[in-house]
Structure 1
């Protein structure tokens, strides 16, 4: 596998993403209008692995990361190419480096409209649309459906109580990622009797906060698991990424989170998304890169 590439006037070398200063990664994401702060990049580097494309004097012209979940699956994200190299094959070359590192793993990602044709050409197939809702939370939330169960905060030392539920919804055990996410998050659970039937996390990210992951068995439960965070964030910027429509999406819009853009969930290898009729489902993503 080629570890360097010439793109017109650029000679770029693949380098481990941990080897560059976070300020360079921040500048890269700012250059394409992505909201990641330096501390968001620091978190993502702890959660996953990746490469950057650098020139001979250390300037960063692209990045690509992958996040392993066990030995046979990974999500891909933070595939960024600087505007100066976007049309010169830098994205394809970065993905080829990621493929080499991932080996035979099944892969999933969330594609922007601009990158969609590239991922199709690399063998990814479309599975679903992700709707990104964001905005300043309304000072007063819309009426909530009847609550079936009890909401309570979950401490980090009891995170194991939601692992099996999350695995059932997501399809793969991501215990390590949940532990990292929870370090700076508030975690709420929904219990019916002695059983946890849903949970949500809220943490700082980008321009404000992100609520996700959100796992629930129906839209009414998911609304309560979102509202418990939004009620404390009135007037603050919040983002929620979801594949759901219907009453859940309507609640987000009524809370003044507007639909800002969409991305496409895609997979390579086995199908990523599965239906779990009547069981828990992912109502809110942890993030575009994390699934």
Structure 2
């Protein structure tokens, strides 16, 4: 695979993203209006692999990362090209570098409207729409449905207790990622008749907090698993990414988390989503890059 690309006036070289100064990556994402903090970039580099497009004097003009989930699947994210290079084929070249690193894995990503045409041309198929709900949480949350079960906090050192449930809902073992996400996160689990039937996480990210993943079997459970975090964030900025359009999404909007953007979940090499009625499913994403 070609490790460099010649643009109109200079050449870009593919460099391991972990070898690049995080301040340059932060400047790259800030330049396209993304909210990633230094800490967010540091976390992403711990969780995944990828490349940065660097010129001859060390300036960063693009990035692309991938996050392994078991041996069969990887999610792709943080695919950024600077405005100066967006129309010069840099995005396609970045994706080709990622394809080479991912090997035979199935791939999934969440595409912005601007990148959708590129991903279709690279063989990705659209599966669903993700709605990015965000805003300052309402001072008082809407009335909640009756709780069926018991909510309790899960200490991070007990994180292995949710691995099987998460694998069933997500479709692939992503225990390494869940372990990393649990560091510094608040975690809530829902038990019914002694069995764990759902969980949620809340952690700092970008402008405020992200509530996700949220794993639940129905809207009622998902609402309670999100509300347990949102009630502590009243007046603060929060974000929930979901593919839901029913009662769970309505609850988020009533909590003043309005839809700010939509992206499209896409896959390559085989279907990604495995949603089944009345079984544990992903109601809230871990993040666009992490899914």
**TM-score > 0.5, shorter chain as reference:** yes
CA deviation vs aligned residue, 1:6-33 (integer Å, no higher than 9, x gap): 0111200000000011000000000000
Distance 1:82 1:105 in 2: 28
Q: Aligned-residue CA RMSD in angstroms?
A: 0.5
1:180 and 2:176 equivalent? no
Equivalent pairs, count: 291
Unaligned runs of 5+ in 2: none
2:73 equivalent in structure 1? 73
Unaligned runs of 5+ in 1: none
Measure how far apart 1:277 and its partner are. 2.3
2:58 equivalent in structure 1? 58
Distance 2:105 2:179 in 1: 22
Distance 2:32 2:245 in 1: 28
1:271 and 2:264 equivalent? no
2:220 equivalent in structure 1? 220
Partner SS, residue 113 of structure 2: coil
CA deviation vs aligned residue, 1:22-46 (integer Å, no higher than 9, x gap): 0000000000000000100000000
1:199 equivalent in structure 2? 199
Q: TM-score, normalised by structure 2?
A: 0.99
Distance 2:279 2:261 in 1: 28
1:243 and 2:243 equivalent? yes
Aligned pairs for 1:97-136 (under 5 A) are 97-136=97-136
Measure how far apart 1:100 and its partner are. 0.5
2:22 equivalent in structure 1? 22
Distance 2:213 2:278 in 1: 19
Measure how far apart 1:72 and its partner are. 1.4
Measure how far apart 1:158 and its partner are. 1.2
Distance 2:104 2:170 in 1: 20
Distance 2:160 2:61 in 1: 40
Q: Is the 8 A contact 1:169 1:276 kept in 2?
A: no
CA deviation vs aligned residue, 1:255-289 (integer Å, no higher than 9, x gap): 00010000000000010001222210100000000
Partner SS, residue 147 of structure 1: coil
Q: TM-score, normalised by structure 1?
A: 0.99
CA deviation vs aligned residue, 1:155-203 (integer Å, no higher than 9, x gap): 1121111111101100001000000000010000001121010000000
Partner SS, residue 33 of structure 1: coil
